[in-house]
Amino acid sequence: MVLLGSEGSVVLMCLFFTLVGVDSISGNLPPPENFSLSWHPRSLSVSVNWREPAGLDAKCKVNYTLAIYYEQKCPPRQNASDKLRTENLICEYPISKECEICVGITTNPMVCKEKKASEEIYKELSPPLALVKNFSCAYYANKKMNCTWTIVRYTPDLQLFYRQGGNTLKHCKSYLTSGILKTGCHLDDKDLMPLESVYFVISGTGENHLISNKFIIDIRASAVKPPKPKVYITQEGERLHFQASTPNFLAPQCLKYKYIYNKCNEKNEVFIESSSARVEYDPACKYTVRGQVVYTTYCGGSQNIESEMSEPEYYGEDGDPNLAFKVAMIVTPLIVCCCLIAAIVLFRRNKDIILPKIPEPSLFFKDMLNSTSDGLSKSLGGGKLYVPVKEVVASGVSLEPKSNLLHPNYDSCI
């Protein structure tokens, strides 16, 4: 069949677009081919392989962008955790643990006339069979670290190996156990440094073949565990001095300190860089102080790592707001009683001066009636005052001692 005129040209153009494809129409580069993922057998990383796109112009120079998504299924629903760009056809991406991962790849133009990046294609990778889960470590003292995990399947020959930097793998020498299960490892290694990551391998036999689970722990980012401090309180004049014990295995510039103290039921908080703090002291208040060590993001972590709060320390006693009134209610009656007792004693001692004796009226009138020459009749006529008659009182009377010259029967004779 022969196509003539404009209709034949239209048919030829449709056939051409169909053969070349949509990407050519839109000006996008084709995506890579034979895209595959696998776990690296000797390190904790994902091996990514692909081939360059088919039909790529020899004059077109391209590179590739890898996007890493920590998601179980592709295509991803969130933004990429990391992106890498390379001109090679193979790449290894290190991760912190074997988990579900989704990888996307695109072809990017470098020297390609009027071409745009290709659409992103995805591939997902499942983790290998797990022997353990919830693997974590705590660097709690100088050159010492504890790592723990949860058993997924019982493995009698389970073993842990570790290395730091380019050193060779070392075997765990001190396991933490729960019954017959190995649930952790205590590392006490003079080569263990807090500023480097540690590579771990847990291996054992499962389902009739050897299984290995790999982990990487960045000590300074997630494994540092500041110890619970001890707080000391001293008084310096009108201020209180708080002093917390400092961990000697961590750099001082990585640490901050938090103090929480109650003062007369009023809660306060102090967050400082040094291990000591000073606050105003109120003698009428009781202070309850607790301290905390904080490993800050200054040394590489994504967030601050806090120690446990210290045991509470106490200083002073709470004063009674009604103390003055209570003291007055107690002291005032005592003072009144003491004054009353003193007044009674003084009155008894000076009774004759304060209350002198007064003659009885009967004697006064008797003297008046018995008066003669110096009595009332004359005193009224002569203008003299009445002078009472003096009573005769015998004086100079004494007893004679008994005489020896008297007859013995003298008394009887009388």
Instruction: Name residue, tokens 């309180």.
Output: 233
Domain holding 89, by residue range, is 33-125
Residue ending a domain, among 184, 218, 252, is 218
CA distance 262 to 233: 13
Q: What is the mean pLDDT of residues 256-265?
A: 91
User: Cα torsion at 215, 216, 220, 226 (round to 10°)?
Assistant: 10
Answer for the pair 161, 211: CB distance below 8 angstroms, yes or no: no
84: domain CATH number is: 2.60.40.10
Contacts of 34 (CB under 8 A, 6+ apart): 49, 50, 51
Q: Is residue 320 part of a domain?
A: no
Residue ending a domain, among 218, 251, 284, is 218
> Which 3 state secondary structure label does DSSP give 4?
coil
Q: Is residue 240 part of a domain?
A: no
| Position 63 pLDDT exceeds 50 | yes
How many domains does the chain divide into?
2
Write down the pLDDT at residue 334: 87
User: Cα torsion at 29, 30, 34, 35 (round to 10°)?
Assistant: 60
CA distance 156 to 326: 74
- List the beta bridge partners of residue 171: 161
CA distance 109 to 33: 16
Q: Is residue 246 part of a domain?
A: no
Q: Among 205, 223, 203, 206, which Cα is nearest to 214's?
A: 203
Q: Is residue 346 part of a domain?
A: no
| Position 339 pLDDT exceeds 70 | yes
| Position 403 pLDDT exceeds 70 | no
78 and 137 housed in the same domain: no
Amino acid at residue number 311 = E
High-pLDDT (> 90) share of the chain, %: 43
Q: What is the mean pLDDT of residues 302-311?
A: 91
More confident residue, 166 or 217: 217
Q: Is residue 264 part of a domain?
A: no
Contacts of 277 (CB under 8 A, 6+ apart): 241, 242, 257, 259, 270
Write down the pLDDT at residue 207: 76
121 and 150 housed in the same domain: no
131-171 pLDDT, tens per residue? Answer: 999 999 999 999 999 999 999 988 889 999 999 988 889 99
| Position 260 pLDDT exceeds 60 | yes
Write down the pLDDT at residue 380: 47
160-211 pLDDT, tens per residue? Answer: 999 998 888 999 999 999 999 999 999 999 989 888 899 999 999 877 888 8
Alpha-carbon Rg for the chain in angstroms: 55
The two structure tokens encoding residue 141: 């003292």
